[in-house]
Amino acid sequence: MARPQAVLWDVDGTLAETERDGHRVAFNLAFEACSVPWRWDEEHYGELLRITGGRERLLHDMTLRKDAPPLAAERQALARAIHDRKNAFYASLINEGHIALRGGVRELIEECLQRGVRMALTTTTSRSNVEALLCAHFGPHWHDSFAAVVCGEDVSVKKPDPEVYFQALRRLAVSPNDAVAIEDSPGGVAAARLAEVPVVVTLSAYFATATIEGAIAIGPGLHDRRGWRPALRASASAAERVGLDDIQAWCAQMETVSQFG
């Protein structure tokens, strides 16, 4: 690969710490608004992240609770009501400035735009959540920066299924090895790798100690050149963040690494 022709961005945990600081908080506000006596602390929500999708996560949690509705139809109805309220609270949290982009994200997006590298969003979160986050940080015309946007409503199966990546590759008309994904979690890495897309992992708060296999690079975030596997060379420009040249170098090596090995 001479250089990646497209960068495929995950959203939750990758662009921002939305899970810990956004979705979890919004779910708790929605529980209260719906007069449901449940609350998700950080530890429990971290365990629930093994389930992909907010509504799916909620339905799974109901199976663990004795005070959840006994009938499947009742659980589905309650899940829809809570999830709708949760999405509204999530948008409010973003608009009020409670959820910042992770360090280095804006800079890499701007570098891609300047250097003509196309980008896509490859997420299985809802389109309304994506719209809220991107509009707040990049303005109402944020769509113009991305050649493809694939969200949860666009796929029949969520990550770790690779459908979201297959759709993005088709829309961009690029082969897997001409793209690189940026993910934060084992499930996202699995989805990209099943589509044969190389993956760079910026570990998020909930997956900082996760076992990651199959990525071409793993590190603490795009804001910091330290702590990456494979290690980054000193930047000629003295930049502290990870840039396109670094991603290009990892793609050229194309050797998978482990978080701990």
CA angle 92, 97, 98 (to 5 degrees): 80
3-state SS, residue 244? helix
Amino acid at 133: L
What does the block give as tokens for 23? 């979705």
Helical ranges in the chain per DSSP H: 18, 24-33, 42-48, 54-62, 72-95, 105-115, 127-138, 163-172, 186-194, 244-253
| Amino acid occupying residue 171 | R
Q: Tell me whether residue 12 is one of the annotated catalytic residues.
A: yes
Catalytic residue among 10, 61, 161, 184: 10
Q: Is 241 left (phi over 0), alpha (psi -120 to 50) or beta?
A: beta
The catalytically annotated residue of 12, 161, 184, 246 is 12
What is d(CA 117, CA 214) in angstroms, rounded to the nearest whole number? 24
Task: Please check whether residue 230 is in contact with residue 250, taking contact to mean a CB–CB distance below 8 angstroms.
Answer: yes
Cα 76 to Cα 241: distance, rounded to the nearest angstrom: 44
Pair 148, 120: CB distance under 8 Å: yes
Does residue 184 have an active-site annotation?
no
Cα distance between residue 122 and residue 184, in whole Å: 12
Which residues are part of the catalytic machinery? 10, 12
